[in-house]
Each structure stands twice: as C-alpha cells, then as structure tokens.
Chain A
Amino acid sequence: AQTVTQSQPEMSVQEAETVTLSCTYDTSESDYYLFWYKQPPSRQMILVIRQEAYKQQNATENRFSVNFQKAAKSFSLKISDSQLGDAAMYFCACKIYGNKLVFGAGTILRVKS
C-alpha cells in the first residue's frame, strides 16, 4: 500500500525565520514522484514543489526547498525567510507510476509577526 505520513499536525514560525515540515512515505514502487501542496483558507490547492524519486538532487523553488532522503523515505519541506502569506495547510503527496496520488494528513503552518 502507498501511504504518506505527516507527523506534525501544527507548526509555528516567526516571520523571516526558517521552518521545516516533515513527511515520510511508503511505497513498493521504484519510480514515483513527491509533491508539497499549500492550501490557504480559500481551499485552493497550490503546488509548492515537486521531486522525482530518480533524481538525487534536492528540488528548490525560491524560498522553498526539500530534503529528499530516498533510503529513509523522507521528504521534508524547508521554508526560508517565512512570510505571513506562507500561513496555510501544507500537504505532502506521493504519486506512483499508475498515477495513484496519495496525500498525507497535512500540517497547519502559523506564521507569527
């Protein structure tokens, strides 16, 4: 079975500081893709960053970067220079070759000014 676990229901960070959100996954597939999505109060789902499992290099998108540890099946998201607009629910997701896409339970990120 394909599972995604986010062990932090809620996190807080001070504006301009750095925060890391954790995610572990489990799949028997060798080819898969990992994603982080952001969901603000509007309920819109916004892609933050993606990672192909076959790539060793960690993905980076501006202030967002991942720490991808394939052997440990870990895929954490680091947000640098946190901004008030980063406050949202963050979901980690895993997609296997058959296009089955599974999400974790989410982490609420609060940003303090």
Chain B
Amino acid sequence: NAGVTQTPKFQVLKTGQSMTLQCAQDMNHNSMYWYRQDPGMGLRLIYYSASEGTTDKGEVPNGYNVSRLNKREFSLRLESAAPSQTSVYFCASSEREGSNTEAFFGQGTRLTVV
C-alpha cells in the first residue's frame, strides 16, 4: 500500500501565482489534514476534514482553501502565493472519530515562494 501520497514533492512559485497541492490516501480513512511545518513553529494545522463532505479551519487557514474531493483525496490550494507561505506542507489521514489510531503522513512538499 502507498499510504498517503502527496504531489509534488518540491515546488517553487513566484509571488502571486496559484497552485494546488494534491493528497490521496488508500487506507479508507475518514479524516484528512493539511499541516505546514516551519522552524520553531512545529506542525500547524491549516485545514482538516473529519469526514467526507466536511472541512474545517485549523490554526492557520488564511491564504489557503481546501477541497475534499472524495474519501480518498484532499487538496490544498494557494490562490495567490506569498513568501510567508514558504514552508514544508504535510498531508495526513486518520481513521474514524473517537479512535486512538494515529495519523499517517505523506512525505511532505517543500514549497518556496520567491
């Protein structure tokens, strides 16, 4: 099994450009997440989807939009990239609500906005 797959792995954008980070999981998990990781800030939750058809804001949602396309896929869109969005982005998934199962992570996307 592939687990959680993110694309692309690396991306350089110019300020103002838009892009979509793709994420897919093959574990039949209900919940999916997008995080950004910055030095000294840890993993900060951008958006999450507790189940198919729902999305909720996390700690740092400004400048991002998400789409839970189906149970497998959860995309993150930057409409107008800014240098402050330079970061490593992680997608993750986990099982049903109320369970103690851990989140499984993709390999991350290193995004640089110049």
Chain B hits for A50, CB < 8 A:
100, 102
Chain B hits for A106, CB < 8 A:
42-43
Interface centre among A50, A93, A97, A103 (most CB of B within 10 A): A103
Assess whether B94 is interfacial by the CB under 8 Å rule: yes
Q: A91–B50 contact, CB under 8 A?
A: no
Q: How many B residues face the partner with a CB closer than 8 A?
A: 29
Q: A101–B42 contact, CB under 8 A?
A: no
Assess whether B24 is interfacial by the CB under 8 Å rule: no
Q: Report the number of A-B residue pairs with Cβ-Cβ less than 8 Å.
A: 65
Q: B48–A99 contact, CB under 8 A?
A: yes
Assess whether A26 is interfacial by the CB under 8 Å rule: no
Q: B105–A45 contact, CB under 8 A?
A: yes
Q: How many A residues face the partner with a CB closer than 8 A?
A: 25
CB distance from A35 to the nearest CB of B (A): 6
Q: B43–A91 contact, CB under 8 A?
A: yes
Binds A, one of B13-21, B33-41, B78-86: B33-41
Q: A45–B90 contact, CB under 8 A?
A: yes
Assess whether B53 is interfacial by the CB under 8 Å rule: no
Beyond the given A33-B100, A95-B94, A99-B50, please list 9 additional residue pairs across the A-B interface where CB-CB is below 8 A.
A9-B40, A97-B98, A98-B97, A99-B94, A100-B45, A100-B56, A101-B92, A103-B42, A103-B45
